[in-house]
Amino acid sequence: MFANYLIGLREGLEAALVVSILVAYLVKTGRGEKLPPVWVGVGAAVALSFGFGAMLEFGSAEMTFEQQEAFGGSLSIIAVGLVTWMIFWMRRTARHLKTDLHGKLDAAVAMGTGAVVLTAFLSVGREGLETALFVWTTVRATGENTDPLTGVALGLATAVVLAYFFYKGAVKINLAKFFTWTGGALVVVAAGVLAYGVHDLQEADWLPGIQNKAFDISDTIEPTSWYGTLLKGIFNFQPDPTVMQVAVWALYLVPVMAVFLFHKPKAKPAPAAAQQPAAEAAPQS
């Protein structure tokens, strides 16, 4: 449940912050009449995300075992790629998110109501689709018996509450630190999902080595025990992984975590509009 809670919290807060920034900007600039199109776009994005999740769940149920394993393994790898990109993108753009959204919203308002709906839809829809895909692949990897939506719902609810207080100015969230901590945790979760995706592809005979076990500590750590379930739910731990699973897990986790923690993104240059007043204020020679 923790992995799904973390996904819901992280992705939900991104989407909720986007919505709160859009709403606050429209209210403060006296364009409250544009709020209904924003909510229409948000609602459409949420509906699309639920529809995508349902398609993944019910569509895979009609497949054979080999097809399910190939489908799940392929989507696991795609999900890890998308989440990795999202983690680094948010780390790079978090400081400028508000300015970027204001600029997009100004352009959308100038173009008309449809553009406002589309801006809200695209801003929230990306996080929604990523959430649906990553939750689905994580549930397959952890084999949760409980309702996976519980963890996601709790994470989303926490994100909405935080975003509401952020909008009201009651709390000051250090977004850089928040996204660093949650991003690092998601890298660990993604490594486990990637390893399990490789296992699925081995089960489907798309990759070799299903019989080559790196180790087997099933007798030491019972997969059905409370601590085995906890390790699997948080870290996607498997007591009998294949050699290829361990290799892929390490080859992803070590370099990605190192780059994420120690590589500082380049500062984004200030917009030309922000630089113009400074240039005009410079003394003439």
Tens digits of residue pLDDT in 46-67: 999 889 988 887 887 778 888 8
Inside any domain, residue 79: yes
Inside any domain, residue 218: yes
Q: Residue 208: give the domain boundaries.
A: 2-264
Which DSSP category does 285 fall into? -
Inside any domain, residue 131: yes
Tens digits of residue pLDDT in 123-162: 888 888 888 888 888 777 766 555 667 778 888 889 888 8
- Structurally, how many domains does the chain consist of? 1
Spatial CA neighbour of 192 closest among 130, 127, 253, 258: 253
Inside any domain, residue 280: no
Q: Which amino acid is at 95?
A: R
Inside any domain, residue 279: no
Tens digits of residue pLDDT in 202-223: 999 999 989 999 998 888 887 7
The distance in angstroms from the start CA to the end CA of the chain is 65
pLDDT at 207: 93
Inside any domain, residue 44: yes
pLDDT at 280: 40
* Distance from the Cα of residue 181 to its chain's centroid: 14
